[in-house]
């Protein structure tokens, strides 16, 4: 009897396992089409806690961590709302907003002329990109042209830009990274390419560690990742700080955009309003530059 029962258990277990695994093979349900946010009950239009619904955000992986923070805060305030934040890249974010596969598309670059007008833009933050070197490096400032020559491999020794006689170690981000994209666009321009020999790091954190450890290194970072392990050089004589970015003096900066297919309404509007509110911008200000 005991053995019999054991056997049954084994069979049940095996069957359960098989079914479980097969369930994993079932085709995923197509992503829910972006629901138009439910119109608010006219009876209580002022009460944000009455909000319910879900928001799908997709796009730039640079914006993703910020979106997650903002979404968390918004969901705490509005328990009825679910916000899903996915990556995919700025290009995917813009496309998602254009054809409405996501309620909000996120982009970490300005829209190209041909993309303007196809979606509604909401700038939620500004990200500055700092060119960083080892703290012991004597070089305090570079011109945009010098930065370009260093990264394209024309300048290979620190003495060519006023530093000590030592070879420059160039660090870059991987192809497709938003920070690399912004850097390429803002510094290199069309047609130029970063030297083939540049070492590649796959995150801002890895980049910072690499530059902090090598006295001859140069790299670039999102402002949010600056700390005293590395030194940000002045660009065209302008110090890399928030005030200079806001004043438009510091050249290496890029917008963080939320994009919607049409003017947002309902729960999406409530969320974007929250992001632009003092409370939301306070979250933005922790790592990025606020827009208000």
Which residues bind to another protein, rule: CB under 8 A? 4, 7-8, 10-11, 14-15, 17-18, 21-22, 25, 61, 87, 89, 91-92, 156-157, 167-171, 174-178, 193, 195-202, 206, 209-210, 213-214, 216-217
Among 157, 139, 124, 159, CA closest to 235 = 139
CB of 14 to another protein, least distance (A): 4
Nearer to another protein, 206 or 242 (CB): 206
Nearer to another protein, 168 or 272 (CB): 168
Residue showing tokens 């060119």 = 131
Q: How far apart are CA 267 and CA 111, in angstroms?
A: 25
Nearer to another protein, 51 or 150 (CB): 150
Q: How far apart are CA 36 and CA 95, in angstroms?
A: 18
CB of 102 to another protein, least distance (A): 15
Are 166 and 216 a contacting pair, CB within 8 Å?
A: yes
Cβ neighbors of 215 (< 8 A, separation 6 or more) are 134, 136, 137, 166
CB of 164 to another protein, least distance (A): 13
Nearer to another protein, 173 or 245 (CB): 173
Among 280, 284, 292, 289, CA closest to 73 = 280
CB of 246 to another protein, least distance (A): 28
CB of 196 to another protein, least distance (A): 5
CB of 25 to another protein, least distance (A): 8
Among 103, 106, 85, CA closest to 94 = 106
**H helices of 186-256, where?**
204-213, 242-246
Residue showing tokens 């079932």 = 26
Nearer to another protein, 14 or 145 (CB): 14
Nearer to another protein, 8 or 282 (CB): 8
């Amino acid at each position: 009897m005991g053995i019999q029962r054991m056997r049954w258990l084994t069979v049940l277990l095996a069957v359960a396992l098989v079914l479980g695994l097969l369930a994993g093979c079932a085709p995923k349900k197509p992503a829910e089409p972006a629901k138009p946010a439910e119109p608010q009950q006219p009876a209580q239009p002022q009460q944000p806690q009455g909000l319910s619904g879900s928001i799908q955000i997709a796009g730039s992986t640079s914006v993703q961590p910020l979106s997650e923070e903002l979404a968390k805060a918004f969901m705490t305030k509005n328990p009825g709302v679910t916000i899903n934040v996915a990556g995919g890249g700025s290009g995917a974010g813009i496309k998602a907003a254009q054809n409405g596969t996501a309620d909000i598309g996120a982009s970490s670059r300005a829209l190209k002329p041909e993309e303007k007008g196809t979606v509604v833009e909401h700038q939620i933050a500004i990200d500055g990109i700092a060119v960083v070197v080892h703290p012991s490096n004597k070089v305090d400032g570079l011109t945009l042209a010098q930065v370009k020559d260093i990264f394209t491999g024309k300048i290979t020794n620190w003495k060519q830009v006023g530093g000590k006689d030592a070879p420059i170690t160039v660090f870059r981000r991987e192809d497709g990274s938003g920070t690399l994209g912004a850097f390429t666009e803002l510094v290199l321009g069309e047609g130029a390419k970063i030297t083939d020999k540049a070492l590649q790091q796959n995150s801002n954190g890895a980049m910072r560690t690499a530059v902090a450890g090598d006295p001859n290194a140069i790299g670039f970072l999102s402002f949010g990742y600056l700390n005293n392990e590395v030194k940000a050089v002045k660009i065209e004589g302008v110090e890399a700080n928030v005030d200079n970015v806001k004043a438009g003096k510091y050249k290496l900066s890029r917008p963080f955009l939320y994009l919607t297919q049409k003017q947002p309404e309902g729960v999406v509007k409530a969320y974007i309003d929250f992001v632009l509110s003092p409370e939301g911008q306070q979250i933005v200000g922790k790592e990025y530059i606020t827009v208000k």
